[in-house]
Structure 1
Amino acid sequence: MATQSAPVGRRRGARSALLVAAALLLAGCQSVPGEQRPDQGEPARPTADAAASAVSFAPLRGTPADAAAMAHPSLAAKIDNHEAARPQIALNRTDLVFEELVEGGITRYVAIWHSDIPDEIGPVRSIRPMDPDIASPFGGIIAYSGGQEQFVEMMMATPLVNVVFDYDDTGLFFRGDERPGPHDVILRSAEAVSRNSSLAPPPPQFAYGSADPLAAPALVATPTSRIDLVFSDARFPAWEWDAAASVWLRSQEGALDLESSAERVRATNVVTLRVGIDWSYGEVPKTVMIGSGEAWVSVAGRTAHGTWAKDAADTPITLTADDGSPLRLAPGNTWVELVPGEGSATFTP
């Protein structure tokens, strides 16, 4: 039987599409101070308080990596998720993707690349008020196409290097001829990282365990074959567990979600967070990232429940299981679903 969150409310007026009621699920993206060791028998993996210079695992994936190969900054980018922007470029090469609600009931992504930097990424779109709180813990570079002046100023105030299409006269961005505007802005991502190679690599954001980190009975993880999420009437992505490939496979609005390589979008870990929405910016919803809430981690065909917490804009998200232990992820890429409290999340065994 599917487990579904209870209705919470509906969206208001012109603010965007009607949001469906309910709860979310998450499994955050961060390491837990003092509790960053993996399951017994696993090699030591990176932790949020580990020195970036000593990394022997990819800090944003937890996979084995040569430290010298990781000695470059991460690249975060605001990626379009309008229907006309699909298929996006190189989503399956990300370390992390955050999906967030924006105006009109649609979603956009803050995607982060570090362990595998593509030549190009996109389509790149404009910044939103929650993005400084999402991107700041990674340091490095943030790329976007522009945005309201107040939101651009908020991002410019962070320590990140801002790479902005509206201000670029160096050739880092171009418009893809095969895509309709404004969903056509592409970033030469490898070049952007190369120009900023002296920046520090990102600190780890997660606690990692084995390939099946939720197996401990104390976590009370439940078998999960499918995750259905509702951000609004316009956006309801889903993830299906592919046991043969050991990955979650993504759909959007009932259709397979494909990236530009023609591969289906996939993730090792799906983390769902219950988040509040701040409507003080008029029609632009701001996902509330500083605080705490309910979380679910889905990995290896299981889902465990817990809580998330984030103390400040520049600190990572901490994930804690219901038994008080760290919620660990499996080594690999992760999608973090920031589902609003008026949305819903359903996990089907």
Structure 2
Amino acid sequence: MPGGAARPAPRRAGVAIATSIAVLAVAALAGCEPAGPVPTGTPAPGAAARPVPADPAPPVAVAFAPLRGTPMDASALDHPSIAVKIDDHEEARPQIGLNRADLVFEELVEGGLTRYAAVWHADVPEEVGPVRSIRPMDPDIVVPFGGLVAYSGGQEQFVAMMEDTPVVNLVFDFDDSGLFTRADDRPSPHDVLLAADEAVGRHTELGPPPVQFAYGSTDPLAPLGAAATPTSRIDAVFSESRFPSWEWDASAGVWLRLQEGRPDTDASGDRVRATNVVTLRVAIDWSYGDVPRTVLGGAGEAWVSVAGRTAHGSWSKASQEAPIVLSADDGSPLRLAPGTTWIELVPVDGSVGFTP
């Protein structure tokens, strides 16, 4: 055609006639005339077609880690916690897996030394250690979590106290499961390691731990105003041999630990750190001779340090099974920031200091 104009498309008469016959037949069957054009399934001009996923992914159930207060995939939390007695002797350092623990309790033991009761749930390492023996205060610390507790042994009376609880005991001295091993590069008795992830995997019939502390925002002490004082350093004295400290790192938003004035690291080479540091003043029961028992029943003085602030208050624990409750001086809950927490169980004849 002139000018290169396109030819009009030829009318498909046969198709049009067939369509008209089909429409009349449907109308006759319905007993009425057609009300309008027959829909063809083609979107109206300007209407965007909505794509439909061929295989939509199922929604992921989100829950909060009970010992951290952080959001996580619910399926990743469907297992028990495991508490492990961790050595803090000089020859036991650096420890394995400390920075991955949800909670770590530091307690006084004989000789003025300290030892840890570390609890893993949200992030259970393949291996933790060095594992050491049980002490008389450990049932009061561990029972509220349920789940598992692992230790290397201990005095018969202390082992009996721990075994006389609902918590599943994993004991190196009696172990035939292969969960415990000895490290070739560490001196005995500071060389016992535990396959923590495998231990938890063997007890999937046990449920996750209950929530222990109240959690708030990343700066949960801000609502307390002047009652939460700026803090750059925490100094605790357990004895002449053990005086750990914590320094606030504002850029990382964490507390960094020192051991007797020296930076404390775990086996990864990273500084030991925590989102929250909770300091409790506790009485010591000396009825077991030279083995001190931290008294965790009743109540006492407490401090919560988070986000470069510290608030004073009190702690209480109603029974062995009950969690520790933290309250501000005005009676309101002392909340933690979502993350990991160290609990310093400082004897009343020790000391605690907070530097602005």
TM class by smaller structure:
0.7 to 0.9
- Between 1 and 2, higher relative CO (CA 8 Å, sep ≥ 6) is seen in 1
- Post-superposition offset of 1:82: 0.2
Q: Deviations over 1:273-295 (max 9, x none)?
A: 00000000000000000110000
Aligned residue number for residue 18 of structure 1: none
1:176 matched to 2:214? The reply is: no
SS at structure 2 position matched to 1:216: helix
> Which of 334, 339, 353 is the aligned partner of 1:346?
353
> Which of 254, 261, 271 is the aligned partner of 2:268?
261
SS at structure 2 position matched to 1:212: coil
Aligned residue number for residue 145 of structure 1: 152
Q: Deviations over 1:50-81 (max 9, x none)?
A: xxxx9810000000011111000000000000
Aligned residue number for residue 239 of structure 2: 232
What is the rounded CA distance, in whole Å, between the counterparts of 1:278 and 1:237 in structure 2? 22
> Which of 318, 342, 355 is the aligned partner of 1:335?
342
Report if the CA contact (8 A) 1:90-1:260 is conserved.
yes
Aligned residue number for residue 242 of structure 1: 249
Aligned residue number for residue 209 of structure 1: 216
1:87 matched to 2:94? The reply is: yes
- Post-superposition offset of 1:218: 5.0
What is the rounded CA distance, in whole Å, between the counterparts of 2:73 and 2:209 in structure 1? 15
Report if the CA contact (8 A) 2:66-2:210 is conserved.
yes
The letter of the residue matching 2:80 is P
Report if the CA contact (8 A) 1:102-1:284 is conserved.
yes
What is the rounded CA distance, in whole Å, between the counterparts of 1:170 and 1:219 in structure 2? 54
1:272 matched to 2:262? The reply is: no
SS at structure 1 position matched to 2:76: helix
SS at structure 1 position matched to 2:235: strand
What is the rounded CA distance, in whole Å, between the counterparts of 1:84 and 1:217 in structure 2? 42
Aligned residue number for residue 321 of structure 1: 328
What is the rounded CA distance, in whole Å, between the counterparts of 2:327 and 2:233 in structure 1? 23
What is the rounded CA distance, in whole Å, between the counterparts of 1:65 and 1:85 in structure 2? 32
What is the aligned residue count? 296
Aligned residue number for residue 74 of structure 1: 81
> Which of 293, 300, 303 is the aligned partner of 1:296?
303
Aligned residue number for residue 60 of structure 1: 67
- Post-superposition offset of 1:170: 1.4
1:221 matched to 2:228? The reply is: yes
Aligned residue number for residue 130 of structure 2: 123
Alignment of 1:38-57 (within 5 A): 56-57=63-64
SS at structure 1 position matched to 2:159: helix
Report if the CA contact (8 A) 1:218-1:323 is conserved.
no
- Post-superposition offset of 1:108: 0.1
- Which one has the largest radius of gyration? 2
What is the rounded CA distance, in whole Å, between the counterparts of 2:222 and 2:288 in structure 1? 43
What is the rounded CA distance, in whole Å, between the counterparts of 2:348 and 2:312 in structure 1? 16
1:100 matched to 2:83? The reply is: no
The letter of the residue matching 2:325 is T
- Post-superposition offset of 1:168: 0.4
The letter of the residue matching 1:160 is V
What is the rounded CA distance, in whole Å, between the counterparts of 1:55 and 1:220 in structure 2? 34
Q: Deviations over 1:95-129 (max 9, x none)?
A: 00000000000000000000001000000000000
Q: Deviations over 1:240-269 (max 9, x none)?
A: 000000000000011110000000000000
Which structure is higher in helix share?
Answer: 2
1:287 matched to 2:294? The reply is: yes
TM-score, normalization: structure 2? 0.82
What is the rounded CA distance, in whole Å, between the counterparts of 1:103 and 1:336 in structure 2? 19
What is the rounded CA distance, in whole Å, between the counterparts of 1:69 and 1:335 in structure 2? 23
Aligned residue number for residue 198 of structure 2: 191
Aligned residue number for residue 314 of structure 2: 307
Moved over 2 A (4+): none
Aligned residue number for residue 9 of structure 2: none
- Post-superposition offset of 1:217: 3.6
Aligned residue number for residue 154 of structure 1: 161
Report if the CA contact (8 A) 1:219-1:322 is conserved.
no
Aligned residue number for residue 30 of structure 1: none
Q: Deviations over 1:175-209 (max 9, x none)?
A: 00000000000001111001111101000001000
Q: Deviations over 1:28-67 (max 9, x none)?
A: xxxxxxxxxxxxxxxxxxxxxxxxxx98100000000111
SS at structure 1 position matched to 2:288: coil
What is the rounded CA distance, in whole Å, between the counterparts of 1:65 and 1:305 in structure 2? 30
Pairwise CA RMSD: 1.0
What is the rounded CA distance, in whole Å, between the counterparts of 1:165 and 1:217 in structure 2? 46
1:111 matched to 2:142? The reply is: no
Q: Mark the runs of 5 or more structure 1 residues left unpaired by the alignment.
A: 1-53
